Amino acid sequence: MTLALDQSTAKAGETVFAVHNDAMTENHEMVLVKLKSADQAMPLNKAKHRLDEKQLKSLGEVSDLKPGADGTLKVKLVPGNYMLFCNIKGHYEAGMHASLAVTE
Ligand SMILES: [Cu+2]
């Protein structure tokens, strides 16, 4: 499983994430969090196979995307490091995460 971004960097400002679930059968979601640093450790709950979102600074999400569905998330980004991930059980561990660096 992957979460692929068209670009790994973006300019600060009003940004629209156009999210598409390319899967045939599985639901997915996209959560956007701002990191304290590029190498911030992720709060993985190994028993639940999900990240503990309470320990992260969420900027919003596109939730419950059915196979083939699209959604958008509009946010104002400031410079820094961000991560996008799917927090459906097991999906983060399976590789559904990607980094985004935002510059001035
Ligand atoms: Cu997923």
Tell me which of 3.20.20.300, 2.30.110.10, 3.40.50.1100, 2.60.40.420 is the CATH number of domain 9-103: 2.60.40.420
* Cα 23 to averaged position of ligand 1 atoms, centre (Å): 9
Kindly report, residue by residue over 4-20, the tens digit of the pLDDT: 999 999 999 999 999 99
* Cα 99 to averaged position of ligand 1 atoms, centre (Å): 16
Please, which pLDDT band fits residue 54 given cuts at 50, 70 and 90? very high
* Cα 7 to averaged position of ligand 1 atoms, centre (Å): 19
pTM comes to 0.96
* Cα 14 to averaged position of ligand 1 atoms, centre (Å): 25
Quote the CA–CA distance of 18 and 36 in Å, as a whole number: 24
Element at 53 (helix H, strand E): none
**What pLDDT shows up at residue 99?**
97
* Cα 46 to averaged position of ligand 1 atoms, centre (Å): 16
User: Where are the domains positioned within the chain?
Assistant: 9-103
